[in-house]
Amino acid sequence: MPELPEVQTTATSLQPLLNQTVEKVSVFQPKLRWAVPDDLVSLIDYQLVDIERRAKYLILTFKRKGGAAQKKLLIHLGMSGSLQQHSVGFDKRKHDHVILTFNDGKKLTQLHYHDPRRFGMLLWLDDYEDKLITHLGVEPLSEDFSADYLYHHIHNRKKPIERPIKSVIMAQEIVVGVGNIYATESLFLSKIHPLTPAHLIRHEQLTTLVAHIRQVLQTSIEKGGSTLKDFTVADGQTGYFQQTLLVYGHKGGDCPSCGTTIENVKINQRASTFCPTCQPLITQKKP
């Protein structure tokens, strides 16, 4: 599944289309997770003026050439989606559901939305902002995400959060884009057991955890930049940086740090691998 790093890589890969004008809109299959809007064709003659990533969403802003009218397109790649650029005349492949053709004044470029499993979406942001975007937590690579922020979230309430730290850092309303891989790896690097009740984690451990979450995501974004086509093959698996994963997917293997056998526990139905030696479970506050 495309995760935050792949979506960030996609956002970066779209930069050459900035300031280009939409020449043609072709919708071959509107039935994605939600239907592609009927009036997507109204993007014709609009210029792409901004590309943002928010969580795992791409937000493309278009402006009417020479006018003030603006349209914002919200794209999510779902389980298996990708956006690929081809020179004009490239044949539509199976599962290319939408093609936007851009004109830079000299040449045309086709942007293909490809999605075998069709869990993705292309929607007008205005129609779905409240439903999909407004409630999202902070971006993990922004300055808003800090140990203070996490500590505040865990403790500044009637009853501190006692559920496992792993489920806290994966909660989209707290911080977005920390998928299972990144949560598992960063907890290992921080020597924190994934089941540790969140309120028992000290502020300095949260500092370490935040730093590792950023590091793991950043490393993955850097790798994603050079292997984009691997995930566009997309059968629902992101496999391309698994060789660099320390514990994720390594149940029964040896801990790369101490050699202890890596164990697995399910948290919120998700596999959570950890090293029982490097990540001892704390269940009580230290006196």
Please choose, out of 95-103, 111-119, 178-186, 249-257, the segment that lies near Zn ion by the rule CB under 5 A: 249-257
Half-sphere exposure of 232 (CA within 13 A, CB side): 18
Interface residue with Zn ion among 227, 260, 261, 268 (CB under 5 A) is: 260
Exposed / middle / buried, residue 249 (Cβ in 10 Å: 0-12, 13-18, 19+): middle
**Around Cβ 24, how many Cβ atoms within 10 Å?**
15
Give min distance, CB of 212 to Zn ion, in A.
Answer: 15
Please choose, out of 100-108, 118-126, 177-185, 254-262, the segment that lies near Zn ion by the rule CB under 5 A: 254-262
**Tokens 């850092």, residue?**
169
Per-residue interface string for the shown chain with Zn ion, residues 201-240, x marking contact by CB under 5 A: ----------------------------------------
Please choose, out of 54-62, 215-223, 229-237, 268-276, the segment that lies near Zn ion by the rule CB under 5 A: 268-276
CA-based torsion, 76, 9, 210, 258: positive or negative: positive
Element (H, E) at 186: helix 180-189
- For the stretch 159-171, what's the b/e string if a residue is b when 16 or more beta carbons lie within 10 angstroms of its beta carbon? eebeebbbbbbbb
* Residue 280 annotated among the catalytic residues of the structure: no
Give min distance, CB of 274 to Zn ion, in A.
Answer: 9
* Residue 270 annotated among the catalytic residues of the structure: yes
Please tell me which residue in 24, 54, 117, 270 is annotated as part of the active site.
Answer: 270
> Computed over its alpha carbons, how large is the radius of gyration of the chain?
21
Choose between 132 and 275: whose C-beta lies nearer to Zn ion.
Answer: 275
The reply to whether 275 sits near Zn ion by the rule CB under 5 A is: yes
The reply to whether 257 sits near Zn ion by the rule CB under 5 A is: yes
Element (H, E) at 87: strand 82-87
Choose between 262 and 267: whose C-beta lies nearer to Zn ion.
Answer: 262
Name the site residues for Zn ion (rule: CB under 5 A).
255, 257-258, 260, 275, 277-278
Give the residue numbers marked as catalytic. 2-3, 56, 270
